Amino acid sequence: MDASTIIEILNSSVRLATPLLLACLAGLYSERAGIFDIGLEGKMLTAAFFSAAVAVASGSAWLGLLAGVVSALALSGLHGVASITFRGNQLISGVALNFLAAGMTVLVAQSWFGQGGRTPSLQAGARFTPVDLPFARALADTPVVGPVYSGFVSGHTLLVYIAVLAVPLTWWVLYRTRLGLRLRAVGENPGAVDTAGVSVIRLRYMAVAICGVLCGIAGSHMATALQAGFVKDMTAGRGFIALAALIFAKWRPWQALGACLLFGFLEAVAVRYQNLSLGGITIPVQLMDALPYILTVIILAGFVGKAIPPAAGGIPYSKEA
Amino acid sequence: MGAPGAATRGQTAPAIELRGISKSFGPVQANRDISISVRPGTIHGIIGENGAGKSTLMSILFGFYRADAGEILIHGRRTAIPDSQAAITAGIGMVFQHFKLVEPFTVLENVILGAEEGALLRPSLRRARRELLRLEEEYELQVDPDAVVGDLSVGHQQRVEILKALYRNADILILDEPTGVLTPGEADQLFRILARLREEGKTVILITHKLREIMDITDTVSVMRRGEMTATLKTAETGPEELAEYMVGRKVLMRLEKNPARPGKPLLEIENLRVTDDSGVERVKGISLNVRAGEIVGIAGVAGNGQTELLRALGGYAEATGTICIGGKRVPLSGPGADGGARRRAGIAHVPEDRHREGLIMAFHAWENMGLGYHDRPEYRRGIFIDNAALRQKTEGRIRRFDVRPADPWLPAGSFSGGNQQKLVIAREIESDPDILLVGQPTRGVDIGAIEFIHRRIIALRDAGKAILLVSVELEEVLSLSDRVVVMFDGRIMGERQAAATDEKELGLLMAGVAQGDPA
């Protein structure tokens, strides 16, 4: 395996990890604030569709991104109304949103474009294209620095950089700002926040909104950067894998980055080596494709140490003395 | 009666004055036309039974509920308190019965939560640290600012709550049942802190159902009964008997009358019993204990020192190692035969600590609950069916004998008050004619009138020659009811005393894990 193959696999790991990472951070904000969200999948899917549809119609990737974010925010709003204002069951609300997204995207796509529930392929201007970082061209032929900087660090779409920068930003918000302190507190003991004179409801809506924005970017990335358009069920369970990564990371941002990169790497390997031969035995492609899901099962079964979720997670808040 | 007129007499306005506060939840009137006036720099007690409306009143003061009618004056100024923020701004601090702390946070983070100075934490934390250390010094409330709250003892967590209020410049501090979770030693420390706060000119409102605390620390006291304020008195001019009468609305026997025990042969013999909980922690660490016929053995201790697990193991719903002999016969402690049904057949009846989860099924009728654990007895069976008519008939008799109100076997258990629910459980267990009765927290959440009744029934059972093992976190109850007192600390027996020959102070030290002869 030569250096360029390694760089290639790493590049594709990062690209594939990006939607996971954005969704994982989205879940982190929501769950840290005490709102469980298994609707990440549905929000991503909805955002993927609307970003693709608007990008097709307008020819602008940016308008597509905006549409994706707004549509995911709308679903977040529904989840918020159901689980914060009306104190409904957060799991049921999330499941409902997933069904809504799976059905609605295909239905609307069929009605708008008539191509069997998909959008037409996006033209160049309607997609996010790789950006070259400064000096990437100039340094391309330098040994070591060249392949690493020009080959790996540079040349991703903007959304990839946004996702990666969201990690330190999330850490900073969570542990260094007033908002972060309150978000963490409201997920552990909303009574403490309420009696301190801070609105539990407003904080939780804020967390759910941030979750919507990040899911929106994640979905847009899938439809307008990773691929060129929307196809049915294109998120393929990534919202659930992001939840697994979130548990794996024990609801912490840097660890979330690590977990998502691991999942991205497994996916990249599966894509690269469709029929991997190891010492004469050919590993079937189905097994390679299943790797991320197998890892998800292992994580959720609790084989990676005890993960303690925020204490008030999933419980609607009501005042009592 | 409350004396709102007193406000105008002195030169200083009352710290808090309530005028005609009323609040109802649906058909239930929780507060009816309540008026009190508390002078600044005093400790004012509010006493009343569970459900008398104390907590509702305080929740109104702290902006959790809005009163339907009435007004609140803080230092003579009419103040609206629509939410907690308004209460904090008005200088009111509240220490809830269940602490409002974020356990994974440090003391400092808990203190600044909601009172941060700006969007960034660092400057707030820096200033808070200085201020916190000053407050700790001034009020003798030492706590490590960097300690994680979840690791602190309950007594220290309570200090954090008080510091939170002081940090927000509270000059009126309300404490709701503050000693429920404390050892007697910790409670004494709390009272010293409250006295100190009074010296510094703070006003303290202490809500409790414990008469002794009112007598020990307060300057004035208001009594609530069924949502109304029945009396406001100077503490020095009243006594426990009078207060109890105002609380219950009739004369209450404060001293429990009982004859000396005449213990017979041991009915329950426990040898080196060990119990490990679900998370793998050993909670009972080798306990040996006998309970004889015709005596009450009381287990004292702060909640969480293994009493719960001991009761569960004896009752047959936690596995254990060691030996338990009932009437001289060994019973299995794990595997088949180690269950509640087998223990009941062996002669143990069990009033569990948590009647909501283990004693009753709240959605079931009273008569259905009466059969729980005993439904396989011949008197309740007709072939393979349960004899519902027999159960209902039995329930009617028990409701009469135990004075359960309302006397309706068809009412779901959840619709009875705490005291009447407990009477249902106790009636079921006592009338199943056991040799041994295990009783956990017999009067938790039970009002004074019912406490007296329940205590008398337990003593009557003792006098009938049964063995009784009592577990209670109410030291007063253990002392007055038991013949022998055993103190548990950290899963072990710290000491054993004859109830007549010991006092709360001695037991309190044992409860805190201080062995005899150690310096306190």
pLDDT, residue B86, reads 94
Q: Which two tokens stand for residue A125?
A: 């201007």
pLDDT, residue B312, reads 92
Name A86's Cβ contacts closer than 8 Å, sequence gap at least 6: none
Identify whether B78 is part of a domain.
no
Measured between beta carbons, the chain B residues lying within 8 angstroms of A188 are: 102-105
pLDDT, residue B93, reads 95
Question: The domain spanning residue B461 has which CATH number?
Answer: 3.40.50.300
Mean per-residue pLDDT for A259-282?
84
Lowest mean pLDDT among A281-285, A301-305, B432-436: A301-305
How many domains are contained in chain B? 1
Higher-confidence residue: A320 or B162? B162
Residues B368, B374, B377, CA angle at the centre, nearest 5°? 115
Identify whether B88 is part of a domain.
no
Measured between beta carbons, the chain B residues lying within 8 angstroms of A172 are: none
Count interface pairs A-B at CB distance under 8 A.
Answer: 81
Pick from B55, B102, B124: CB nearest A192? B102
ipTM metric: 0.89
Question: CA neighbours within 13 Å on the CB side: how many for B242?
Answer: 14
pLDDT, residue B254, reads 63
Q: Which two tokens stand for residue B425?
A: 């459980």
> What is the pairing mode between strands B92-95 and B172-176?
parallel
Q: What does the pLDDT look like over B326-378, one tens digit per residue?
A: 999 999 998 888 898 899 999 999 999 888 888 999 999 999 999 898 888 89
* Domain that residue B442 falls in: 266-511
Contact criterion met (CB below 8 Å) for A307 and A79: no
Q: Count other C-beta atoms under 10 Å from residue A3's C-beta.
A: 11
Q: Which two tokens stand for residue A5?
A: 């193959």
Name the percent of chain A lying above pLDDT 90.
Answer: 71
CA distances from A154 to A9, A132, A210, B409 (A): 15, 6, 27, 77
Distance CA A108, CA A130 (A): 30
Pick from A179, A188, A321: CB nearest B55? A321
Written as one letter, the residue type at A123 is Q
Structural domain spans, chain A? 3-236
Question: Which pairs with CB-CB distance under 8 Å and at least 24 residues apart come from B369-374?
Answer: B369/B413, B369/B424, B369/B428, B370/B394, B370/B395, B370/B398, B370/B409, B370/B424, B370/B427, B370/B428, B372/B428, B373/B340, B373/B341, B373/B344, B373/B428, B374/B344, B374/B428, B374/B432
Identify whether B403 is part of a domain.
yes
Measured between beta carbons, the chain A residues lying within 8 angstroms of B124 are: 178
Kindly indicate the confidence band of residue A321, based on its pLDDT and cuts at 50, 70 and 90: very low
Do residue A321 and residue B115 have CB atoms under 8 angstroms apart?
A: no
Residue A306 contacts B, CB cutoff 8 Å:
no
Distance CA B252, CA B256 (A): 10
pLDDT, residue B5, reads 42
| Average pLDDT taken over every residue of chain B | 89
Identify whether B117 is part of a domain.
no
Phi, psi for B257 (deg, rounded to 5): -85, 125
Residue A255 contacts B, CB cutoff 8 Å:
no
Kindly indicate the confidence band of residue A320, based on its pLDDT and cuts at 50, 70 and 90: low
Q: Which two tokens stand for residue B90?
A: 């008005």
Residue A104 contacts B, CB cutoff 8 Å:
no
Contact criterion met (CB below 8 Å) for B348 and B314: yes
Alpha helix segments (H runs only) across B121-227? 121-139, 154-167, 184-199, 211-217
Do residue B88 and residue A181 have CB atoms under 8 angstroms apart?
A: no
Q: Which residues of chain B have a pLDDT value below 70?
A: 1-11, 252-255, 515-520
Distance from the Cα of A185 to chain B's closest Cα (Å) equals 6
Distance CA B471, CA B485 (A): 10
pLDDT, residue A303, reads 67
Residues B407, B228, B249, CA angle at the centre, nearest 5°? 55
Contact criterion met (CB below 8 Å) for B499 and B468: no
In sequence order, the β-bridge partners of residue A54 are none
Distance from the Cα of A70 to chain B's closest Cα (Å) equals 27
Identify whether B125 is part of a domain.
no
Which of B169, B156, B155 minimizes the C-alpha distance to B115? Answer: B169
Using the predicted structure, report yes or no on whether residue A6 has a pLDDT greater than 90.
no
Pick from B84, B98, B120: CB nearest A177? B120
Quick one: which H or E segment has residue A286?
helix A285-300
Q: What does the pLDDT look like over A105-134, one tens digit per residue?
A: 999 999 999 998 899 999 888 899 888 888
Distance CA B224, CA B175 (A): 16
In sequence order, the β-bridge partners of residue B221 are B45, B233
B interface toward A at CB cutoff 8 Å? Answer: 55-56, 58-59, 62, 64, 83-85, 87-88, 94, 96-98, 100-105, 109-110, 112-116, 118-122, 124, 164, 176
Do residue A188 and residue B84 have CB atoms under 8 angstroms apart?
A: no
Strand segments, DSSP code E, in B39-146 are: 43-48, 69-74, 77-78, 92-95
Identify whether B356 is part of a domain.
yes
Do residue B109 and residue A181 have CB atoms under 8 angstroms apart?
A: yes
Distance CA B378, CA B439 (A): 25
Which of B303, B394, B403 minimizes the C-alpha distance to B354? Answer: B303
Distance from the Cα of B8 to chain A's closest Cα (Å) equals 32
Chain A from 155 to 184: CB within 8 A of any B CB? 175-182, 184
Identify whether B458 is part of a domain.
yes
Helix, strand or coil, per DSSP, at residue B176 = strand
- Which of B31, B58, B113 best probes binding to A when mutated, by most A CB atoms within 10 angstroms? B113
Q: Count other C-beta atoms under 10 Å from residue B143's C-beta.
A: 22
- List, as one string, the DSSP characters of A242-260: HHHHHHHTTT-HHHHHHHH
C-alpha dihedral sign at B395, B400, B402, B404: positive
